[in-house]
Chains A and B, each alone.
Chain A
Amino acid sequence: MDWTILIYKTIFLFIILFVTLLVAMYSTYGERKVAAFMQDRRGPNRAGPFGLFQPLADGVKMFMKEEIIPLTANKKLFILGPSIAMTTALLTGVVIPWGATLKIGGREFSMQIADLNIGILYVFAMVSIGVYGIMIGGWASNNKYALYGAIRAASQMISYELAMGMSIVALILTTGSLSLHEIVEQQQGMHWNIFYQPLGFLIFLTCAFAETNRAPFDLPECETELIGGYHTEYSSMKLGFYLFAEYINMFVSSAVIATLYFGGYNMPFIDQLGLSPNTVTLLGTAFFFLKIFGMIFLFMWIRWTLPRFRYDQLMNLGWKGLIPLAIFNIFVTGVYYFFTELT
């Protein structure tokens, strides 16, 4: 391991961390603006021009609020909950290829922190650990509404993880690789996976909504039934961590969807423009972020359009709708590749 790579990776890691936090911060602003637009309101417009400093003000407010740990709560686990939620949310960004390679001083630097050969499974593992943040936090609050929220979150996430995993299996059959970098490289030009796996994409998207606890799957924090859901007892920055982790998850899952199904940092027709490789790389990264923002907008759009599911509807959709559909998708993909590889 030589030092330039090590230093580069460290700097890049901090840049990604910073960008993730920044995007998550401005997603809260974006969400309120989108909601306002859909409901014919103005949204935040007091702090700074167009209300742009609103996230900063919210952050300061979160830090200044009184910190309450309920007397009957399990103190250690009460603190552990939001920490897990935040950590696992941030860990996923490590394997996402944010861009192609940059050439600086005759050396190539990959714009990906770790090119694991099992990148997709790593994302999946982090998602499956993420549920502990909610479960432990909800249980440690020692509040029945929080417990209900935690239990709902756990059962929902387990149910939708299955369908999500199966939609990924079909995708792996098409790509033949588990490495996110290779999957992106295969989608050059307009060979985006969404054209090869439209059904898989829809299943994955639905499951991504369920895994991030976003509407219409936000039953764990359903206000009308559960007060605040799993974070009922939380206050101050611990509550902030939970809310923030949701936005980070939304950003990261948008990035994963863009990587898997929309060609990642690939831009159509970019090779024909005759630009220098570094410019192409940077443009690709910008285009990747454009795709991510599009996905985030889709998340918000759906949240403010569709009403919440009922709990039995949620379970029916997961177990009786998505899982058989995902199995069917695997079957069709398998049969297709079996016959095309034979001839």
Chain B
Amino acid sequence: MIFLFYMLSAIMIISALLVVFSKNPVNSVIYLIVCFLAMAGHYILLNAQFLAVVHIIVYTGAIMVLFLFVIMLLNLNKAIIPQKSRVTRISAVITGGIFFLVLLAATRQTFEIHARYPFRGDIGLVSEVGNTLFHEFLLPFEMSSVLFISAMVGAIMFGKKDA
């Protein structure tokens, strides 16, 4: 198990780095797909089969297909990286660093959360996820679906020229 964990983590980190470093956008997208698949592997190690498969369907199967689709349609074959001014670059580094700090702080918190809610083997199975979503978190769940609907309506409004 621990060997699988390290292998998946290595695949994930390497492919995530390659997403950033590869010059060709199509290669970036493919490395991102590999990264997502490795993440699904992590879910399976946690016995969260439902989450793993939904992750594959939504991220790998739908969102990344659209990414790839757009990149192919725009034919972004060569890397076109416009040279930015020094101020932009320095501010980008600073904001990135601050974001990293926030992430670090958030990760530190997880130790406490982990101590309070110990890991259960059945937590990612479909019935468990469904019960939690529709009992404990019903209102946030419904609210997020309303958000999705409004986003969809907004996209359609943008798409229609003479609305």
Contacts and interface: CB of A to CB of B under 8 A. Distances in A.
Interface of A: 74, 77, 80, 116-118, 121-122, 124-125, 127-129, 131-132, 135-136, 139, 147, 150-151, 154-155, 157-158, 161, 178
**Which 3 A/B pairs are nearest by Cβ-Cβ distance?**
A128-B61, A125-B56, A121-B53
Nearest to B49: A118
19 contacts: A74-B26, A117-B50, A117-B126, A118-B50, A118-B53, A118-B126, A121-B53, A122-B53, A125-B53, A129-B56, A129-B60, A129-B61, A132-B33, A132-B68, A135-B69, A139-B68, A139-B72, A151-B73, A154-B65
A158 B54 CA distance: 15
Given A124-B53, A129-B56, A161-B62, 11 more contacts: A77-B30, A118-B53, A118-B126, A125-B53, A125-B56, A128-B57, A131-B65, A139-B68, A151-B72, A154-B68, A154-B69
Interface of B: 26, 30, 33, 49-50, 53-54, 56-57, 60-62, 65-66, 68-69, 72-73, 125-126
Q: Is the interface of A mostly helix, strand, loop or mixed?
A: helix
A68 to B, nearest CB: 21
B147 to A, nearest CB: 19
A121 B33 contact: no
Contact of B126 (A131, A150, A154, A178): A178
B72 A158 contact: no
A131 B68 CA distance: 11
A187 B115 CA distance: 45
Contacts of A122: 53
Contacts of B68: 132, 135-136, 139, 154
